[in-house]
Each structure stands twice: as structure tokens, then as C-alpha cells.
């Protein structure tokens, strides 16, 4: 607890006198011990992360990738009467392992997960106009839910109890979900996540680790809020389309000149192929 408190004060830009005062009161460790621990954590972070991904691949754990923004506004960055805030926009990249859930094998055909066109309009229309969906349009939202949900959440007495006693984290499932067990920090950098290019940069940072090796074998789950859902999907679908276009180009080149040993010109595709890694059959020249 003393070490955690000292590290928190240091990251919150507390000065040396404040940390020393807290140490004299017995709330934190000494500044020298804190600096030594910080150096040890920094030097061992890459090795620990590499070992974590190796264990995840070996034991086939399900990994969840989270890329989220974080705005730092501490004492020295807060707005005053004479100046605006000096907040820094940071990017937090973490990976959580669910060891009790087996990993999802990555299919050889990536189009089974991501449509190259981004959205299959025909499949969408068929789903919306299906008899099951059309029958649900005549029902209310509550009528489409399971009875165990409606009995609890649409009960007037239960609603009064929730308004009277706010128990946000009392449930066991909520407490378990909010635990930071098996969570590893990949990186924490200054990056404004406000566009597709920024999320491409975040992917580059994440895949610079052995998460790339894991993604070659298993599917990486990535939840996200706005704008993560929008821009991350843009990156995924654009790169899937480009890789499919590259495969089509190579197939057409082989059919046009199957005995040519001339290398096929490559299309300029950003280095995000690790997210999709669609394997292709070797060309005649490659064989």
C-alpha cells in the first residue's frame, strides 16, 4: 500500500516535499525506494509482457484488447482565472486475459469474420426482413427480452428499491468484471484518438509487442466506445479490402502469365496486415 500510494503521488505530479511528508506520516515509502521500484518495473515490463503473450499462446487464453483515450488534468494542468487547462490527451493500451475461456482460432479465410466490403447489404436486408425479425417489430422492447430479465428490471417494486438504495457495485458479477486481474499494460503514450490515423498508430504500438504473434493464431476481441468502434472498424474493413484486392491482383497476374518469373508489383498497403494476415497460395515464381 505504501508503494502504491507513493507511485500514485508521483504520477499525480506531487512534489518531493509532499512525498517526504507522506513518508514521515507513514503513508508512503521513501522516495529512494519508490525510484528504485519504478526503474525495476520499467526495465522488466517488456520481458514480463513477452512472457505473458507466450503463456497466452501456449495455454490458449482468450485475450481482450482495449484501446482507450485518457485526458490528464491534474493540479498543474487545471484551468484558472487567467488561463485555460493544459490537458494532455493520452492513449491507454491494455490487454486482459480470460484464462477460463478458450481462445478463438483464427480462420484461414478472414472474410468469415470481416466482410471485405465492410457490410454485406444483401445479408443485412435478408436478416431485417426475415419472419423472425418482422414478428419482433410488433413487440415492445421489454417483450423481446427473457423473462428472468423483465421480472427483475421491469418490476415496479424492484425499480423503487433500486432508486432508494443505489447498489452499483454490490452484485458479484459487477465486482468480478471490474477486477484488474490478468490485466497487462501494453503502453501508455501521448496520442489523441480522434481519427482513423490515430487508431492505426495505436495498432502499430500494440502490435509491436508479441500480441502480433498471438493474433496470427487466435482472434483478438476488442470492445470499445465511441469513437473506438467507428474508427477501428474503418481500419479493419479498409485493410481487409486491400488485402483481398491484393490477392485478386495476384490471381489475375498468374492467369495472364503463369510461367512468368517476373516479380509481381506490390500494392502500397499500410503495415496493418498483422490484424488480418490472410494467407495466400504461393505463386509459380515463388515456387
Rounded CA-CA distance 61/39 in Å is 30
Residue 202's pLDDT band, with cuts at 50, 70 and 90, is very high
Bond into 123 cis (ω within 30)? no
Rounded CA-CA distance 6/166 in Å is 32
Q: pLDDT value at position 119?
A: 73
* 273 pLDDT more than 60: no
Q: In this predicted model, what pLDDT tens digit does every residue of 32-41 receive, in sequence order?
A: 888 888 888 7
Rounded CA-CA distance 37/166 in Å is 39
Percent of the chain whose pLDDT exceeds 90: 25
Rounded CA-CA distance 116/98 in Å is 29
Residue 13 vs residue 277, higher pLDDT: 13
Average pLDDT over residues 44-54: 91
Domain positions in the chain are 1-43, 60-74+87-253
Rounded CA-CA distance 264/193 in Å is 36
Q: pLDDT value at position 170?
A: 60
Q: pLDDT value at position 263?
A: 46
* 53 pLDDT more than 90: yes
Q: What global pTM score does this model have?
A: 0.63
Average pLDDT over residues 172-177: 62
Rounded CA-CA distance 152/253 in Å is 62
Residue 277 vs residue 110, higher pLDDT: 110
Amino acid at each position: 500500500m505504501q508503494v502504491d500510494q507513493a507511485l500514485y503521488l508521483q504520477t499525480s505530479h506531487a512534489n518531493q516535499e509532499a512525498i517526504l511528508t507522506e513518508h514521515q506520516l507513514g503513508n508512503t515509502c521513501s522516495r529512494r525506494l519508490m525510484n528504485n521500484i519504478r526503474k525495476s518495473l520499467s526495465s522488466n515490463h517488456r520481458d514480463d509482457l513477452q512472457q505473458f503473450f507466450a503463456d497466452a499462446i501456449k495455454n490458449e487464453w482468450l485475450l481482450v484488447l482495449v484501446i482507450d483515450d485518457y485526458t490528464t488534468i491534474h493540479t498543474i494542468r487545471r484551468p484558472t482565472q487567467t488561463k485555460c487547462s493544459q490537458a494532455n490527451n493520452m492513449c491507454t493500451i491494455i490487454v486482459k486475459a480470460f484464462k477460463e475461456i478458450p481462445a478463438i482460432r483464427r480462420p484461414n479465410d478472414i472474410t468469415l469474420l470481416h466482410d471485405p466490403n465492410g457490410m454485406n447489404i444483401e445479408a443485412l436486408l435478408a436478416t431485417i426482413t426475415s419472419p423472425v425479425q418482422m414478428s419482433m417489430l410488433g413487440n415492445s422492447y421489454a417483450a423481446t427480452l427473457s423473462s428472468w430479465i423483465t421480472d427483475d428490471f421491469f418490476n415496479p417494486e424492484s425499480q423503487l428499491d433500486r432508486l432508494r438504495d443505489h447498489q452499483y457495485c454490490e452484485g458479484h458479477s459487477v465486482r468480478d468484471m471490474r477486477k484488474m486481474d490478468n490485466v497487462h499494460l501494453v503502453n501508455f503514450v501521448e496520442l489523441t484518438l480522434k481519427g482513423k490515423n490515430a487508431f492505426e498508430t495505436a495498432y502499430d504500438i500494440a502490435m509491436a509487442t508479441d500480441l502480433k504473434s498471438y493474433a496470427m493464431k487466435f482472434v483478438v476481441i476488442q470492445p470499445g466506445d465511441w469513437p473506438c468502434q467507428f474508427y477501428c472498424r474503418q481500419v479493419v474493413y479498409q485493410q481487409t479490402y486491400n488485402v483481398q484486392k491484393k490477392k485478386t491482383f495476384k490471381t489475375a497476374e498468374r492467369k495472364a502469365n503463369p510461367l512468368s518469373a517476373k516479380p509481381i508489383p506490390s500494392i502500397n498497403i499500410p503495415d496493418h496486415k498483422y490484424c488480418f494476415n490472410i494467407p495466400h497460395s504461393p505463386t509459380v515464381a515463388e515456387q
